[in-house]
Amino acid sequence: MYNLNELESIVKQCNKCPLAKTRINAVFGEGDKNSKIMFVGEGPGFHEDKSGKPFVGSAGQLFDDMLNAINLTRHDIFITNIVKCRPPQNRNPSEKECKSCIEYLRWQVKIIDPQIIVCLGAVAAKNIIENRFSITKNRGIWYKKGKFDIIATYHPAALLRDKKKKSDVWEDLKSIRNLYDEIKKKTS
C-alpha cells in the first residue's frame, strides 16, 4: 500500500492520458491527511495548473468562503479532483480522462479514509455516485456507498456564474456540517 507522499510522486510522473502533455503541474490535492471529510472537484483550472495546488483561482476563493461559512478551513479537510491535470480551455474532463485518473482518487480515499465525501459539481458526482447523476435534481441528497456518506453540491465555479444557486449550496453545506459534527461526537 502506498502512503500519500508516494502516491503524489506517482501522480506527478503520470502520463496515462493526453492531459499530461499539456499540463504545467499535476494537482494532487492538499489538506488534512487524516480528515474525516474529503471534497472532490472535477479537475484543475488555469491557476491550479500554474501553482500545482487545488482550488486557488476565484472559484477557490469562493470555496474557502463556503468552508468558512460552516466553520471549516482547508486545514480541516482534504481537497482534490477527479483528474489531476488541467483539461485545455478548462473544459470538462472526458470520460476517458476520468477513467485514466480515477484510480488515483481511489487510492487517496483509501489512504485518507474519510467518512464524508463531497462531490463538487456534476463531473465529480457522475464519477463517484452514479454516471447518470443530475446535479440539478440530485444535489443535496446523501448516498451511502460502503462506509462512505456521499453528497453532491454545485461546484463553486457554477456559483460564480449563477448566484441563484447559492441558497441551495448553503442548505447542502449546513447538512454537511451537521453530519460532520455527528461523526466528530462519535469519535471523540
Q: What confidence tens digit (pLDDT) does each residue in 131-169 have?
A: 999 999 999 999 999 999 999 999 999 999 999 999 999
Question: Is 188 a member of any domain?
Answer: no
What the block records as the C-alpha cell of 105 is 482518487
Domain around 143: 4-182
**pTM exceeds 0.75:** yes
**What pLDDT does residue 94 have?**
95
Q: What nine digits make up the cell of 62?
A: 469562493
CA distance 179 to 105: 22
Instruction: Establish if 30 belongs to a structural domain.
Output: yes
In this structure, is residue 130 part of a structural domain?
yes
CATH of the domain at 133: 3.40.470.10
Confidence band, pLDDT 50/70/90 cuts, at residue 1: confident
Span 98-119, mean pLDDT? 97
Residue 187: inside a domain, yes or no? no
Average pLDDT, the chain: 96
Evaluate whether residue 56 is within a structural domain.
yes
Q: What is the pLDDT of residue 26?
A: 97
| Structural domain count of the chain | 1
Per-residue b/e over 130-162, b at no fewer than 16 CB within 10 Å?
Answer: eeebebeebbbeebeeeeebbbbbbbbbbbeee
Q: What is the pLDDT of residue 188?
A: 73
Whether 170 has a pLDDT exceeding 80, the answer reads: yes
How many Cα atoms occupy the beta-carbon half-sphere of 25 within 13 Å?
15
pLDDT recorded at residue 54: 96
Q: Is residue 97 part of a domain?
A: yes
Strands 148-153 and 116-120: parallel
User: What is the per-residue pLDDT across 6-52, written as a single tens digit (0 to 9) for each?
Assistant: 999 999 999 999 999 999 999 999 999 999 999 999 999 999 999 99
Is residue 51 included in any domain, yes or no?
yes
Q: Which of 82, 97, 90, 10 is nearest to 49 (CA)?
A: 90
**Residue 128 located in a structural domain:** yes
